[in-house]
Chain A
Amino acid sequence: MSFADFLFWIVALWTGLSAVMVVVTQNIVRAALWLLFTLAGTAGLFFLLGADFVGAVQLLVYVGGILILLVFGVMLTAQGPFVNLRAGAGEWAVSIVVGLLLLGLLVSAFLMTDWRFLPAQPPDPAHSRYVNDLGLALLGSRDATPPGTLPGAPGPEPAERSRVAYLLPFEIVSVHLLVVLIGAAYLARARRRRGART
């Protein structure tokens, strides 16, 4: 077992255990803390899988942004000290059974799939894509993706892979983000309750 594999198992165990703890813990602030560990572990997995930019964005946006937003949400909607928000024991039992069944379904799905279209040898780090390739693809450069045939596609002859670029989805997602942020600011604006003293 190489050192990279060792690291992968450490990070994978860390991520999975924290994800389970998010479900198990009852205190919402502790759940946010375990979610922080899960998101950081996922960023570590991205780094190990050669996606350094995606890992950095994960750290910036998730750990730095969304988690802070969640904690602010917890603080703004503070409950009284004796409010019980637990699900019942029967609901827990049913949901654990359903969750195990779902996990078994997913695991059996990827164990029974024929993965022979994947390259046999482990990927070469020299071929991994870096930030400038991602930037070229987002800018709509057509040289960003190599020509080739799609593996695993149904049909007699292999399907040609179209040379795609991502300028239009990038623009759409930017405008979408702007619209969503304006909508969120409108929805969450401070409203004076009727009859409240100012």
Chain B
Amino acid sequence: MTSVGLQECLLVGAVLFVAGILCMVTKRNAIGILMGSELVLNGANVNFVAFAYFHDLFNIEGQIFALFTIVMAAAEAAIALAIVLNFYNNHVTVDVDAAEDLKG
């Protein structure tokens, strides 16, 4: 078995990304969809840190972009949970299929 390189790390990132996309697609619970988006952001973060590790020129950029992504994810989780709570107050469910108020 060869030593672990960039491609193995990118494989882990790709698996996380696809799992997040599938989670967003198949869950009907709004909080499950939120978990899927966290998985997608984590996959992107793994790629950033992998590039930071395997190339000297990127090892500040990769880590700093990963930090920015984490902050963005925290902000996104806070605002999305607030929206989900509002949705629950109005519809008494978290099923996203119930969000059809704008249907003509």
Contact = CB atoms under 8 A, between A and B. Distances in A.
Do chains A and B interact in one complex?
A: yes
Interface of A: 1-2, 4-5, 8-9, 12, 15-16, 19-20, 22-23, 28, 31-32, 35, 38-39, 42, 45-46, 49-51, 53-54, 57-58, 61-62, 65-66, 69-70, 72-74, 76-77, 79, 83, 85-87, 91-92, 95-96, 98-99, 102-103, 106-107, 110-111, 115, 118-119, 122-123, 127-129, 133-134, 137-138, 144-146, 148, 150-151, 161, 166, 169, 173, 176-177, 180-181, 183-185, 187-188, 191, 193
Contacts of A38: 16, 39, 42
Contact of A188 (B25, B30, B86): B86
30 contacts: A9-B4, A12-B11, A16-B12, A16-B19, A23-B23, A45-B9, A45-B46, A45-B49, A50-B52, A54-B49, A54-B66, A54-B67, A62-B42, A66-B38, A72-B81, A83-B93, A86-B28, A91-B26, A106-B10, A115-B6, A118-B6, A129-B52, A134-B67, A150-B57, A173-B71, A176-B72, A183-B79, A187-B79, A187-B85, A191-B89
B78 A184 contact: yes
Given A15-B12, A20-B15, 8 more contacts: A9-B4, A31-B32, A49-B49, A106-B14, A134-B64, A177-B75, A184-B78, A187-B79
